Amino acid sequence: MTERQEKRIPITGMRKQIYKNLVKSAFTIPHATGMDEVQVDALIAYKKVVDSEADVHITYLPIIIKLITQVLEKYPIFNATIDEDAREIVIRPDFNIGIAVATEEGLIVPVIKNVDKKTIAEIAVELNELTDKARQGKLVLSNIVGGTFTISNTGLRGGTYATPLINFPQVAILGIHAMKERPVILANREIGIGTMMGVSLSFDHRIIDGESVGYFMEELKNLIEHPEKIKN
């Protein structure tokens, strides 16, 4: 039998930069994470309608990207960055949403700029283009800079909750997780079957307090459970 040998993989290129960025995030920002669970049956129905009316296939992520802008407009402290040199919190007037994409080189975060000015369909097209570029190693600097808030979609294999690391110098990151059917209490107080999704919001506790997180999560939950309120 052939004896197994250890394998060493150099930390170079994109992986080296990811290595540095995550260490800086973890050891610079005092992370805290708020978690909640939302019922997504109305969102599922909404996606079907939007998908049927669009010229591009619509997944849940472009809808989440669009609705998060409304939450950030209401609670702008989450759409901020930190200027460490000036010791200032910079509330950003633009809404540039970074999307964590898994590639062979590691996790890359391309940025969709000015989301508030784009429709769900337009966001879907740009998301597809950036995701393809990321996985082909074709992103340029302008595709990955300028983000004001990040979303990490862990998908079907991501479990119910997580504690995502903030994309420094941003101040918050939202994790959206697997959708699972389970017993729920319906509006008439009877028990039925609903589709639930976990959400996790990691935030910089130096500048954001737990009460603000509660308001943010409440508004996020409200829009996911009542997607007719989304301004498309």
- What's the pLDDT tens digit per position in 113-130? 999 999 999 999 999 999
Whole-model pTM: value is 0.91
Q: What is the DSSP letter of 4?
A: P
Give the pLDDT of residue 73. Answer: 97
Q: What is the DSSP letter of 57?
A: -
Mean pLDDT of 28-53: 95
Give the pLDDT of residue 158. Answer: 67
Nearest in space to 63 (alpha carbons), one of 161, 151, 184: 151
Please identify every residue annotated as catalytic: 205
Give the pLDDT of residue 1. Answer: 62
CA separation for the pair 34, 21 (Å, rounded): 22
Q: Are 185 and 149 in contact (CB under 8 A)?
A: no
Joined together, the tokens standing for residue 177 give 């997780």
Mean pLDDT of 177-206: 92
Q: How far is CA 105 from CA 15, 57, 82, 87, 154, in A?
A: 6, 27, 27, 33, 17
Give the pLDDT of residue 115. Answer: 97
Mean pLDDT of 12-19: 71
Give the pLDDT of residue 14. Answer: 66
Q: How confident is the model at residue 28 (pLDDT cuts 50, 70, 90)?
A: confident
Mean pLDDT of 217-228: 97
What is the residue extent of each domain of the chain?
32-229
Class of domain 32-229: alpha beta
User: Looking at the predicted structure, is the pLDDT value of residue 221 above 90?
Assistant: yes
Phi-psi region of 3 (alpha: psi -120 to 50; beta: other; left: phi over 0): beta
What sign results for the dihedral spanned by CA atoms 68, 72, 77, 80?
A: positive
What confidence tens digit (pLDDT) does each residue in 149-175 have? 999 998 766 678 888 999 999 999 999
User: Looking at the predicted structure, is the pLDDT value of residue 20 above 90?
Assistant: no
